[in-house]
Structures are given as structure tokens and as C-alpha cells.
Structure 1
């Protein structure tokens, strides 16, 4: 069976890592990858030896590449096309009109929030994405909440399967550099890390309000990993709130495990998510999590012995969680919570389980 994964290629976060992880181990399927632009995903795919093809566009609205993709699918006898993201979904939907391959989609995010920083684009692309999803053969939702969301688009329940994300836990806890000394941090300092693109949906402003609330009660440093258009405005907001000394903008980094390893807690303050891979990366390092109640996070953090789940855009709740986590660091309870989280995540959200679940669905679709 030949599988072609299609994604725009501009992704830098969870969806990028998810797609690359599907190629990490041997498979009975012949898998290829197609992207529309050079970027970190394309570069990492090449470095990993993945069979990746670049279909270049003059701009993101250039549809001239559709015929090239269609020819590629026919020439390589592709059985199943697996698309990821709004642009890839739309292009495959247009090709599907005149092709006979099976088509599956993984829904990584809420279409209504993907372009929330641009209301005009949000309205147009959300409608196009939903139109595309309606014609798929199967949809993989990465949480039960996302399955419910997709059903509201009028898609039958039997076309939607919940498959939670997974990662490899084989590498174990990171013990290499960087160290806290590289960031002028001491072992007694309370350090929180947030790995997320600088985008409105990620909720950095709520985090900043919480840090401003607690700065007189606890000494906390936040390591912010990620890039995005909001960087300048977020830096300005930090200065206005008087927390610029507590915030470190680290930009894009590839050593996410190392960053979590030197942190006391990891943060996720998003307004919407599916099932964030970044939380599994935190769990792999035994780093406890404070997260908003989005997507499938309660499957990873079923109760308070694993971490904190707080309401969306609730700075007061985030402040309380940070204070509690700081107290638990002092008592030693925080490290116990991290070990508990790691053990649970490793047994429920392995990469092997993810790959086996997807392969099972591929076989079903192919046999239909």
C-alpha cells in the first residue's frame, strides 16, 4: 500500500512533529511526503532521509501545482492520500474531484481559529476547510472534543475516528546542555517554559497577566520558545506590565526536551488545541504541566496528581496554579508529580500505539 502525506510545509510546531513522527519507524506501507514550500519541515524530512517532494508555489494561492500533484499521485500509484492542514486539505479536495485515490485527513486544529488574527481570512478559509472535510473518506480527530467539533460540520460519525497523538519515549530524560547556568538561573529559581508559536490562539497575554499577578509572591522566570508575528507586541506588553525581567523570548529552538528538562513546569495557555504534542514532550522529561482545558488534555491529565488543568483565559486560575507549583517544588511534591505524569504518558501515548492505530485505519479504508 502506498501512502502520500501532504502538508503545506510552513508548519513549525505540533503538526510538523506529528507528520515526521509517522515516518520514524519501519512500516509495511510505502510512505512519501509532499510539501508546498521549503521550511523547517522540509529540511528535517531531508535530514531524516524521508522520501519528500517539494511542489513549489509562486504564492500560497497559486493553483497551478494541482496538475503536478495529480500526475505525481497517478505516476506513483498512490493508494491513500493523507492530508494535514487547511491548504493541503483544499488542494487534495480539488484534485479528488477527478481522481480515485482514498483520502484521509488528520484534523490538528479548529478551522474557526486557524486565522483568528485575520477575520476576513478566517471566514473564507474556515468555510473552505469545512467544505474540504465533507468529502473525505475518513477523518482522524486527535481528541474526542475535536471529533464532536467535526460532527457539527454535518460529517457522519462513522467517518470520524479519534486517534490520540503519541511520541517516542525511548530517548529517556535529557541530561545534556543547555543548563540553567546558560540562562543565569539557579537551581532554586522557579522556571516555567511555554513552547508555542506567537499567535493569538496560544494565549500568551493571559500568561503575562498571571505573571504580573504573582511576581510579588514568587520569583518566576518564563522561557518562551517560538516565533510569530506577535513578538513585538508581546515584548511591549511585557514592558507595560513590568514583567520584562521575568520573560525570556528564546525564539525558535530545536532543543525542546532540554528546555523542559531545566524547567520546573511547562505551560500551555491556548484558547484551542487538539491534543498537543508539546505536552507529551514535557511529560517525557518528567516536567509537570499547567494547561488550559482544551482539546484532549484531560486524557493526559485526568486528575490533579498529574498536573493542573485550568479554564481558558483565566489569569487568576493560572496565577494560583503557578503559586501551588512553586510551593510543591519546595516540598518536593512537584518532582513526584512529574514522575507520575511521565509513567502515565508513556503507557498511554506511545508512538507505537499511534502508528498502529493509523495503520489499522489505512487497512480498513484500503479494503473498502
Structure 2
């Protein structure tokens, strides 16, 4: 079975990690997977560094419809059985050439399609409508949470027989491969996320202010359009000594920072199945998250982590207070339990196996 994964190529967050991890596992298992990026960028670079088979089509604009024939020829000449797209731009391009292809077409929905272009006015509404149109035209849709699956079926009106929930996974390290923890006097919190409104870092800063504990230090690892606004908020809340903006960090840099962390926090309004929490868990850092992206599947009980209500400052403050008040040795035990659970349920190997089963079913249909 020949499979072509297609992405615009400009992802820098969880989408990039998802694609590269999945194709890395497929290579290890001897599967015939290829990655095609519409444009040169971070995805192609990361795929090459991982030793994957990757091609770049050279489409440098989402409006470059003249290259659709080039895309169709690449797919048909390659005799692919499955084309698997990731992201709105790749989805739309496939929808426009669908009738010219001999391959079956699958899509992974990494995020809420109604929020992907929020705040972009009429153009955003057009992009949203185009993406939803594409999802309805595909042969198979992989939703990374039950919430997304329900949204696609009941709001976007995608045929429910096409929609399948397959959770994200990562490669887990043996505990002996994780750098030893570096104990510090402060209680250190890390937030790894794009600095955008949907990630709710403003709520995290306000919760930190409400906590009123000078011994707690927050590290924000990420970059984005809200950086200036968040720095202004830090000054307004008089939190300067307690907050460090790390900017974008590589996985190697993050792993080194994790060894100093007591808690990983995500206060987003919307998420898929957040890989950043899986990665923190792999590094034996306890988790606190708002109730996004089927998080109860990742944090199944109070012994596994902390869950707060979405967009609720009081709930986030309470959960943060509970975590900070927990003795560090108990947090360490929590992280060990959580990693054992996560490793069993959310590996890339499990993810790949489930996806291949659906590929085979789509081909039979």
C-alpha cells in the first residue's frame, strides 16, 4: 500500500510533530509512506532531519491554483493508493482535484475547523467554508478527539461513517534516557504553546497573580502575535520577577528545561489532543490542563494530574493552588503513574496501527 501525506509545509507546532512522528514510525515498520509539502518550510526540513522520504511541490501561495495540475500529476504518476492530507490548505487543494485522482483520500483534523481562521473577517469565513467543503468531499476523516468527531458530524455535517477518532501519540523515552531532575528552591511551571489568544496564557498570568506566591515561577515557551500584549500584562500585574518568556524552543532545549520544572500547564480555550502535554509527561513533569481535547482520556483521575474548567479563572487558580500545595515527592509519584498510563495508551505505534486499519477499510470500500 503506497501512501502520500500532504501538508502545506509551514507547520511549526503540534501538526509538524504529528506528521513527522507518524511517518517515522511508518518507516520503522517498513510501510511505504512519502511526505509531500506544497512549499518549502519547517515540515520538509524536520522530515529530512528525521531521514524521511520527502518532496516539495513548490507552491508558494494558497491562491496558486495553477499548480493543481502539477499536484494531480504527482499523485497519479506515483500510483498512490491513499492520499492523506493535513491542514486546511492541503485539504482544499485535494478537494479541487479529487475527481482527477485514482487514490482514496483521507484527512486528519488537527484542530477545530471553526476556530482555525477566527478573527480574520470575511476572508476567514471563506477559508473556513472551503475547508469544511473539503472535509465533506474526502473518503475518510481522522479526528484526534471525540469532541472534534462530534463537531464534524453534527455541525459540519460530515458523513458519520467517514469519521474515526484516533488519538495522537508520541515516542516515549525510557526513564533512564530522561535527564536527571535539577532541584530548585522555587516551584517552576512551564507553559509550552504558541503565544496566541486561543492558548489562554493571559488567564495563566492572572491565576499566577491570584496565587500570590512569590516562590512560584512561570516559564512561557513559545512565540506568537500576543507576545507584546502578554509582556504588558506581566508588567501591569507586577509579575516581572516571576515570569520568563523563553520564546520558541527546540525539543532539545525543552528537554533541558523540563528537568527544572515541577508542573506543565496548558490553559487553552481549544486544543486537539495536546502533544505538548504528552511530551511533558514523557519528561516526568506532572500535568495541569483546562478541559480541552478529550483531556480526561489523558488525565483520567485526580491521581494523574489536575484539570480546570475552560476559560474559568477561578477554576484555573484553584487547580494551580492544589498543584503548588502538593508536596514535591507526591508530584514526582504522580508523574511516574501518569507516564506509565500514557505510554500504554498513546504511543505512535498504536496511532499508526489504527490509521492503517482505516486505510485498508477505505480501499476495500
Coarse TM-score class (shorter-chain normalised): over 0.9
- Pairing partner for 1:204 from 201, 204, 218: 201
Q: For residues 275 and 105 of structure 1, what CA distance do their matches in structure 2 show?
A: 16
- CA 5–171 in structure 1, closer or farther in 2 if over 3 Å, else same: farther
Unaligned stretches of 5+ residues in structure 1:
181-185
Q: How much has 1:174 moved relative to structure 2?
A: 5.2
Q: How does 1:162-311 map to 2 (within 5 A)?
A: 162-172=165-175, 175-176=178-179, 187-214=184-211, 216-254=212-250, 255=252, 256-311=254-309
Q: How much has 1:236 moved relative to structure 2?
A: 1.5
Q: For residues 173 and 312 of structure 1, what CA distance do their matches in structure 2 show?
A: 35
- Pairing partner for 1:157 from 126, 138, 160: 160
Q: How much has 1:171 moved relative to structure 2?
A: 4.5
Query: In 1, are the aligned partners of 2:306 and 2:323 still within 8 Å (CA)?
Result: no
Unaligned stretches of 5+ residues in structure 2:
none
Q: For residues 256 and 294 of structure 2, what CA distance do their matches in structure 1 show?
A: 25
Which SS does the other structure have where 2:241 is aligned?
A: coil
The match for 1:148 is 150
TM-score by length of 2: 0.94
C-alpha distance after superposition, 1:68-104 (max 9, x if no partner):
1111111111111100111111111111132231000
Q: For residues 282 and 191 of structure 2, what CA distance do their matches in structure 1 show?
A: 15
- CA 118–245 in structure 1, closer or farther in 2 if over 3 Å, else same: farther
Q: For residues 84 and 174 of structure 2, what CA distance do their matches in structure 1 show?
A: 28
Query: In 2, are the aligned partners of 1:12 and 1:41 still within 8 Å (CA)?
Result: yes
Q: For residues 274 and 9 of structure 1, what CA distance do their matches in structure 2 show?
A: 19
Q: How much has 1:281 moved relative to structure 2?
A: 0.8
Query: How much is the aligned-residue C-alpha RMSD, in angstroms?
Result: 1.7
- CA 116–241 in structure 1, closer or farther in 2 if over 3 Å, else same: farther
Count how many residue pairs are aligned between Structure 1 and Structure 2: 360
- After TM superposition, the structure 1 stretch with the greater mean CA deviation from structure 2, 304-313 or 254-263, is 254-263
The match for 2:69 is 67
Q: For residues 346 and 29 of structure 1, what CA distance do their matches in structure 2 show?
A: 23
Q: For residues 329 and 64 of structure 1, what CA distance do their matches in structure 2 show?
A: 61
Q: How much has 1:242 moved relative to structure 2?
A: 1.4
Query: In 2, are the aligned partners of 1:191 and 1:222 still within 8 Å (CA)?
Result: yes
Q: For residues 247 and 121 of structure 1, what CA distance do their matches in structure 2 show?
A: 36
Structure showing the higher helix proportion among its residues: 2
The match for 1:81 is 83
- After TM superposition, the structure 1 stretch with the greater mean CA deviation from structure 2, 272-281 or 18-27, is 18-27
C-alpha distance after superposition, 1:120-139 (max 9, x if no partner):
34312111111110011111
- CA 6–172 in structure 1, closer or farther in 2 if over 3 Å, else same: farther
C-alpha distance after superposition, 1:294-326 (max 9, x if no partner):
111110111111111111111222222222111
Q: For residues 327 and 135 of structure 1, what CA distance do their matches in structure 2 show?
A: 51
- After TM superposition, the structure 1 stretch with the greater mean CA deviation from structure 2, 82-91 or 47-56, is 47-56
Query: In 1, are the aligned partners of 2:178 and 2:283 still within 8 Å (CA)?
Result: no
